[in-house]
Structure 1
Amino acid sequence: MTQRRPLGLTTIYAALLAGALTCAPAMAAGDYPITPKQRDTAQKVAQAGVPLSELAPNAPDSYTVKRGDTLWGISSIFLKSPWRWPELWGMNTDQIKNPHLIYPGQVLFLVKADGRARLQLGRDVGGTNGDVKLSPRVRSTGLDDGSITSIPQHLIEPFLNEAIILNTDELATAPRVVAAQENRVMMAKGELAYARGEFTNGDTEYRIFRQAKPLVDPVTKEVLGYEAAYVGTADVVRPGSNAGGANEVPTTLKIGLVRQEVNVGDRLAPIPARGYTSYVPHAPANPVDGFVVSVYGDAINAGQNQIVAINRGSADGMEKGHVLALWRSGRTVRDTTTATKDLIRLPDERHGTAFVFQVFDRVSYALVLTVQEPVTAGDRITQP
C-alpha cells in the first residue's frame, strides 16, 4: 500500500466538495475533481470554524463515534443547527482528494480558540491526567467500509428508485397487469402475472406501480406532477406475441420483491440503472417559500423519519441536500377580549426541519429530520 501523509485536520468538509459521502461503491481518489473556487471555499472554512455562539448549550468536549451514528446526529450534539456542520469540521487542502472519513470508535475533540470552535480527530492515550493525543489518519479503503454516513441512509435508500414523480401521466399508457394465475385478483412474490402493452426490447426487469395520482399545489391548485406508488418488481419470463392481434399472447411475468400485493391494472416501467448521489446537508443559497404537498403513502400526517413531497423542484433551484425549515401555519382565532370580537391570524411557528433527497422538475421529496408537531399538507417550508 502506498504510504500517505497524515491529514492535519479532519476533512469532512472535503466530502462536501469532492462528493465523498455517497452510497456509491469504492472509487479512486482521483475521481474527485476540485475546482479553484471549491478549494478557495474550503480554505476559508478550514480557517474559520464556527462562532462559539453556534455551539449547542451542552456541547461536550469530546465524543466517541458509535456504530449507527450519522454526521447529522453528531453535529446536533455539538451545534444548534446541525446543517452547519461543514463549518465545524476542518480540512487539509493538500490532501483534499483523500476524504478523511469518520469511523465508529474514533474520538472527536472540540477545540475552542479565539471565539471560534472546530472539531479534530484524535484518541485518548489513557493518561491519568486526561491527556489526549490528536492523531488524524488517512484511510485508503472504499466508501463502503463502515464509515458513518451524513444522514440515515437506510431511511431514504428504498425511495431512490421507488418513489417517482412524472410530469405527465405517462403510466396511463405503460404496460399493465391484466391477469393472474387461477383468476386471482392480487399476486404475491413468486407468482405469475400476465401483462399487455408495449414492452421495451431487451428489458427483462420491471418496476410495478399503482395508477399515478396527481399532486396538486396547495396554493395555486395547479397539478405539479403525478406520483406513482411503488408496488414491487417483476421479471419477464416469457415475452408476448402478436400484440393487438386477434390471437395475442400476453407477456408472462414472475413477481419479485413486493411492498404490497400486485393488483390487476398495475403499471410497469423498466428498472433504471442504479444511481449514486452525494447527500451533504446544506442551506439553500436563495430564500425558499413553499409548502408541503402531501405525505408519502396513505398517512395524513408525518413524523420524524417520514417522507413528504414539497412544491419546489429543480425548476425552483431546489437541490439534493438542501435543509429546509418546517412551519405550522398560524390559526385564525377570535379575539374575545374586544367588543367586536375581531378575527386575527396567529403567526406561523417553526416546528421542524426536512432534508431534500430526491428532486424532480416541480416537486421534491424530503425526509423529516426533526419535528415538534405532526407535519401535514399545507405546512410551509423555508430556508433554515
Structure 2
Amino acid sequence: MRLKSIIIHTVALTFVALFASQSVLADVVNIREDAPQTYVVEKGDTLWDISSLFLSQPWRWPELWRNNTQIENPHLIYPGDMLRLRWENGVPILEVVRDKPLLTLSPDTQRREKPNPINVLPWEAIAMYINNDSIMTTEEFQALPAVLSDREGSARFVDEDYVLTKALKNAKRANMTEFEIVRKEREVYDSLGALLGVQVIQLSDAEFSTDVNSDKYVVKVANSIREVKKGDKLRPAKKFDNNDLTLQPATRQRGELVSNINGYNIISKDDVVIINIGKRKVEPGTVFGIYKQGPDIEYKEEPLRSASATGSIASLFSLGETIQQPAYKVGELVVIRGFEHASYAWVTEASTHLVGGEIVASPTPSEN
C-alpha cells in the first residue's frame, strides 16, 4: 500500500508539473470583466482583496504597475489612495492618485503624516493562529531547556511567578534579551510518513532575572496565554514579521497540503494550513494552486459474444486496465510563514472541502 501511495503521489505531481512547465505568464494581464475603473482604498482593506477586485489571479498584482514609474513598491498602498485602471496599447495599467503628505518640522504649520500602508493579507484574522504557533525540528526542540520549578516547589505557574529553568546550551545569555515558554502540541507528518517537525505553542513570555550558575536561569513568567507547567520549554523569543511579504506565484515548487494548523483534516476557505515545503524552497507571499486527484478507475471491456470459447474463458481472468484520473484545481493558498521542513499557509480559495493530502503546485497549470 505504501508503494502504491508513493507511485500515485509521484504520478500526480508529474501531471501537475507537465501543465506547469507549459504555463508562462502572458504579456497581458487578464482583468476581471466586473473590475471597477476606479477604487478608493479604505482603512481595513487588504491588498489581496483589492487585487481580487481587478484580477482573477491576484498574485499578478505587480504586473499592473510595471509601466507606472510613480510607484516604487506596488505592495505599498495607503488608505485614501485612488486606484485608476486605464489601457495603453491594449495593455492594462493601474495608476494611483495620491495626495502627497505635507511634512515639516516648523511648529507654526500643520504637520500631516502618511498613514501606514494596508496589509497584504487579513492579519487580524490570521495572526491569532500563527503568532503563537510554530514548527521546530526535533533536534531544535529537544535541545531547549526545561522549566523546573519555583522556590515553593510548585508545578504550575502564571504571570509574575519566578521559576527556575535550565540554561540554553551553546548560547551566550548576554545576546538574548527576550524569551518565551513553549509546549509541544504534536509531531507533524505528511501522507508518506515524513516527519516535518514538532509543532509547539507559545504559553507566555519570560523575562530573564538572574543566573543561578552556569547551567540554570531564574526567569519571570509574563504575558501568559496559558498556564505554564513543569517540563515546558524555554527558548529565545521568535517574533513573526509579516512586513516583507510580497505576492508571487509558485513555479516548480510542489508538495502537499498536510492539514489545518490544528491538525484537523476538515479544511475550507480562510483556514490556516500546513504544507510540506520548507523555507529553503518557498518564501512568504508565494501563491500555490491546490489540486485534488480522484481515485483510480478500474475499467474492463465486455467480451464480444462472437468471441471464441478460449477467449471468453481468458476474459474472465482479465483485470482490465487502471485509469488514473488527472488532478483538478480546487483552490489556492498563500504561504505566510516558513520553517525548516514545512510552512504555514492561508487558504484564499476552495471550491470544495479539503481533507489533507491534496497537491500544491503552480497556481497557473494552464492559461485560460
| TM-score, scaled relative to structure 2 | 0.70
The match for 2:212 is 240
Alignment of 1:1-384 (within 5 A): 50-51=28-29, 54-93=30-69, 101-122=76-97, 136-139=98-101, 145-155=115-125, 162-180=132-150, 184-198=154-168, 200-202=172-174, 203-211=176-184, 213-219=186-192, 221-241=193-213, 243=215, 251-272=217-238, 277-284=243-250, 286-315=251-280, 317-331=281-295, 346-384=325-363
Distance in 2, Cα, partners of 1:338 & 1:352: 38
1:177·1:193 contact (CA, 8 Å) conserved in 2?
yes
Tell which has more relative contact order, 1 or 2 (C-alpha 8 A, sep 6+).
Answer: 2
1:233 to partner: Cα distance: 1.4
Aligned residues: 313
Gaps of 5+ in 2: 1-24, 104-111, 304-318, 364-368
Q: Provide the rounded CA distance (Å) in 2 between the counterparts of 1:140 and 1:337.
A: 78
For residue 79 of structure 1, report the CA deviation from its aligned partner: 0.9
TM-score normalised over the length of structure 1: 0.68
Contact 2:168 2:235 in 1 (8 A): no
CA contact (8 A) 1:156 1:357 kept: no
- Structure 2 counterpart of 1:251, which letter? Y
The AA in structure 2 aligned to 1:383 is: S
In 1, Cα distance between equivalents of 2:43 and 2:155: 44
Deviation at 1:77, TM superposition (A): 0.7
Higher radius of gyration, 1 or 2: 2
Task: Tell me the distance in 2 between the aligned counterparts of 1:73 and 1:155.
Answer: 14
**Once the 2 structures are TM-superposed, how far is the Cα of residue 196 of structure 1 from its aligned partner?**
2.8
Find the aligned partners of 1:85 and 1:145 in 2 and give their Cα distance.
21
- Alignment partners' CA distance in 1, 2:34 and 2:54: 8
* Shift of residue 159, structure 1, vs aligned partner: 7.0
The alignment partner of 2:83 has SS state of strand
What's the % identity of the aligned pairs? 28
Q: Contact 2:274–2:342 (CA<8 Å) still a contact in 1? A: yes
Change in CA separation of 1:98 and 1:258 when aligned onto 2, cut-off 3 Å: same
Q: What's the offset of the Cα at 1:274?
A: 7.2
Structure 1 stretches lacking a partner, 5+ long: 1-44, 123-135, 244-249
Computed over aligned residues only, the root mean square deviation of the Cα atoms, in angstroms, reads 3.7
